[in-house]
Amino acid sequence: MTLTLPGFDHVRLPGAGGVELAAAVGGRGTPVVLLHGFPQTHLMWRHVAERLAAEHTVICPDLRGYGASDKPAATGPDVYAKRTMAADIVALAAALGHERFALVGHDRGALVAFRAGLDHPETITHLGILDIVPTLDMWNVLRGASAAVGYHLFLMAQPPGLPETMIAGSADAFFGSFLDAWADDPAAMPEDVRAAYLRASAAAVTSIVADFRASAGIDVVHDQADLDAGSQLAMPVTVVQQDWGAHLGYDAAGVWKAWAPDLDHRLTRAGHFMAEEAPEEITAAIRDLLAR
């Protein structure tokens, strides 16, 4: 049985370059797009989306390469560049009649949201980021033994072949290890939801690896170009994250302030899967962002 967002319509719409994205759409009002993380699908927003749909049109797509969305072959570095994935989201929203919208992303979706904010400042009205730092900064803060927490980033950065083979050979164990290790409240992810994430991820090993590989290549190039140009996020930005700065030894709020002058930086006691573990807190943070 396919799990869905109750009360939402489920559609397929064009992204960039002929790719189609699956999305759940519900509610009525000013539009908010919610982008999922790894190793998940749009289902991670089920609690937050229901709450926001009382006041907004809520759009929850599966990113390209994930869930029920298209999984194009990585024929070049741009196919899974966050710039391309951000263009997907802008195209999808436009297909629904929204030329401007608020955007909130978690984990991988937050990297896409960050790139959308830089590339499409005339389109993104508000930007919400859950539990990341930008790609360029991520690589800069992962040093020494503490970087072991991000071992999967280094694994999937390797040339095509070995990472895909290793992960596909033990997909449930690999993807399940993150669902287990990163959740402070395992009860927030019921068994049927966990199983849905594992099925979706096992069916998308090649495209998921391509997404991560892009973050060790073309995404770094794009971030560095913006840093060199002094580019910043022009819209109000809210970042909610675990206290990674204390764990890895850097100033998380300072990292974000360099990119986002209009910043509300918040720490949470919830685990990485905060939209599922603390939906009231995350919904409140998004509502506060939209009120700015």
Indicate if 184 belongs to the active site: no
Phi-psi sector, 27: left (phi>0), alpha (psi -120 to 50), beta: left
CA 57 to centroid of chain Cα atoms = 19
Q: Is residue 32 packed enough to be buried (19+ CB in 10 Å), middle (13-18) or exposed (0-12)?
A: buried
The answer to whether the beta carbons of residues 127 and 109 sit under 8 Å apart is: no
Q: Is 223 a catalytic residue?
A: no
Residues in Cβ contact with 172 at an 8 Å cutoff, skipping those fewer than 6 apart: 198, 202
Residues in the chain: 292
**Burial class of 263 by CB neighbour count within 10 A (0 to 12, 13 to 18, 19+):** middle
Residue among 47, 98, 126, 272 flagged as catalytic: 272
DSSP 135-197: HHHHHHH--SGGGGGGHHHHHTTSPSSHHHHHHHHTHHHHHHHHHHHT-S-GGGS-HHHHHHH
* Annotated catalytic residue, options 62, 70, 88, 107: 107
Torsion angle of the four alpha carbons 236, 259, 104, 290, in this order, in degrees rounded to the nearest 10: -10
Kindly list the catalytic residues: 107, 272
